[in-house]
A = this chain, B = another copy of it.
């Protein structure tokens, strides 16, 4: 950190720093980077006249975000053509400041607003579901028992254009009140990240099956 020349300059520097540490990003690339890093999302929608939040997986294809679920899902049916908010959040660390007030959370988040539509064409639906598997479990699709037409029918795929939204990112150390930097209080960041662990084979696997290489291609966060 640069040494301040005076108290006034320090204040200016710190306030610039604060902005640098937490910023909204309205460009497509920042938004896409968050969506592509984390399939887990929370979708806000109205059902029965009240707000509800559905945790589910999203995936992106170009300028659209997609999600899927059971064709019987009341939640998905309530979303089609209605206003929704798709939010993706990754926790990157706890930010421990010198005062309770300036404690914070390092994070990357994306929020998209819009009205989803249902993918009605069966072939298109199947293609999008394959794309989802390819993105979340790269290389796995080819190993799987092929999808049946009943399974495609039982699945709804929703898609929404990415037109209104923003990413928000906070990173780096705490930003404290200027006078608090002189206090003998330890401040810093406790980083955190979602970690994948060693795969656990299904006890019902056929004997002698080896763990496929594609498992090592799974990424999250």
Contact = CB atoms under 8 A, between A and B. Distances in A.
A73 interface: no
28 contacts: A40-B105, A42-B53, A44-B52, A51-B83, A52-B113, A53-B53, A53-B86, A53-B111, A91-B220, A93-B197, A94-B136, A94-B137, A96-B199, A100-B141, A143-B185, A173-B200, A173-B204, A181-B206, A186-B201, A186-B212, A187-B201, A188-B201, A189-B200, A189-B202, A190-B196, A190-B197, A191-B196, A193-B195
A99 to B, nearest CB: 5
Nearest to A82: B51
B184 A202 contact: no
Contacts of A53: 42-44, 53, 85-87, 111
A55 B109 contact: yes
Contact of A186 (B141, B143, B191): B143
Copies in the complex: 2
B202 A188 contact: yes
Contacts of A155: 101
Interface stretch (A24-32, A59-67, A117-125, A144-152): A144-152
Contacts of A204: 1, 173, 181, 187
A100 B99 CA distance: 49
A147 to B, nearest CB: 5
A46 B51 contact: yes
A183 interface: yes
B185 A145 contact: yes
A186 B174 contact: no
Interface of A: 1, 40, 42-46, 49-53, 55, 57, 83-87, 89, 91, 93-94, 96, 98-101, 103, 105, 107, 109, 111, 113, 129-130, 133, 136-137, 140-141, 143-145, 147-148, 151, 154-155, 173-174, 180-206, 209-212, 215, 218, 220
A56 to B, nearest CB: 9
B98 A145 contact: yes
A190 to B, nearest CB: 5
